[in-house]
Chains A and B, each alone.
Chain A
């Protein structure tokens, strides 16, 4: 079961940091954590991924708990263009790269 749990929605103000949580308590040692986001009327877009260590890229940072049962996507300064549905996805092991999406978190950014 590749289930992850995320809050249904979150809100933020522009220019402020946003921390989007994800629980994946049944994760295996070989599963990666991926984050995708989906803007209105678009397909999902890759944001970041990680295995054990915290990761940074130009879009965001990913903080993975030491026990790997949870992770947090960090948007350092939210902009209006970051308003989207954010999906936390597990993949790896024998799933051959299968991406199983949950409901995701709807992020609203206020000006």
Chain B
């Protein structure tokens, strides 16, 4: 079974530029998550989709971050404009169903460096 695919693996941009990350979840997984992980910290949930609807985006900085999940499958996360503090690993995860028991599968992440 193929895992969660993310691209690119690494990205370096200058502050105030824009950047986009792509995620392809495991086939059939209804729930998709985007997490931000700053060095030395645990992952922080940015947004959670159930199919193509948003379940939770309470910690998404909506003035600069946006995310969409077209047709309930692939998803993109965009930052525009980027700030230095956005340097982090961006992790995508997916899970089959949304219940109290939720085994999430994570991709390898995209490491973003903003200079």
The distance in angstroms between the C-alpha atoms of A30 and B101, with both chains bound, is 10
Decide yes or no whether B33 CB sits under 8 A from chain A: yes
How many residues of B sit at the interface, in one of the four size bands?
A: 20 to 34
Query: Main SS of chain A's interface residues?
Result: loop
CB distance from B115 to the nearest CB of A (A): 21
Chain A residues within 8 Å of B4, by CB: 43
* Other-chain contact of B108, A43, A97, A101 (Cβ < 8 Å): A43
B100 near A101: Cβ-Cβ < 8 Å: no
Q: Which residue of B lies closest to A44 (CB)?
A: B106
Chain A residues within 8 Å of B105, by CB: 46
Q: Which of B18-50 contact A (CB under 8 A)?
A: 31, 33, 35, 41-45, 48, 50
The distance in angstroms between the C-alpha atoms of A85 and B37, with both chains bound, is 13
The distance in angstroms between the C-alpha atoms of A46 and B105, with both chains bound, is 7
Report A's interface with B, CB cutoff 8 A: 30-32, 34, 36, 41-46, 49, 51, 85, 87, 91-93, 96-104
